[in-house]
Amino acid sequence: MREEKNLTQENLSTKLGITQKSISLYENGENLPSIETFIKLCDILNVSADYLLDRTDIRYTAKEVTNLSLSSEELELIEYFRKLSPMKKVKALGLVIGMTE
């Protein structure tokens, strides 16, 4: 994510107020950031904590989602989608993907 945002380890460490070595250790899986640093990291990279923790493929932060301009039809679809069982969500996504191809 850092490279995708065109940030060097030094740039990112300055923004976070930590050392470049700390960034290197995080990226190599040799250390973990504090909660405070992790929250700042999410903000700087503009991604959700779940995305950074590899718990979801959805990058959007809550702030970005609320800033999206969704039509009333899109919001209605989201509400219906949320009510579906996991299996039905997969089927619904398959149907929508098939319709867009």
pLDDT in tens, 17-48: 999 999 999 999 999 999 999 999 998 988 88
Question: Binning pLDDT at 50, 70 and 90, where does residue 15 land?
Answer: very high
Return the residue matching tokens 């932060």. Answer: 61
In the chain the first and final C-alpha atoms are separated, in Å, by 30
Q: For residue range 45-81, what is the model confidence (pLDDT) as tens digits?
A: 888 888 888 887 777 665 656 656 777 788 788 888 8
Neighbour count for residue 26 (Cβ, 10 Å): 20
The 3 state secondary structure assigned to 16-81 is HCCCHHHHHHHHCCCCCCCHHHHHHHHHHHCCCHHHHCCCCCCCCCHHHHHHCCCCHHHHHHHHHH
This prediction has a pTM of: 0.59
Of residues 62 and 1, more confidence is placed in: 1
* Cα 53 to Cα 1: distance, rounded to the nearest angstrom: 12
pLDDT score at 73:
82
Question: According to the model, what pLDDT value does residue 83 have?
Answer: 87
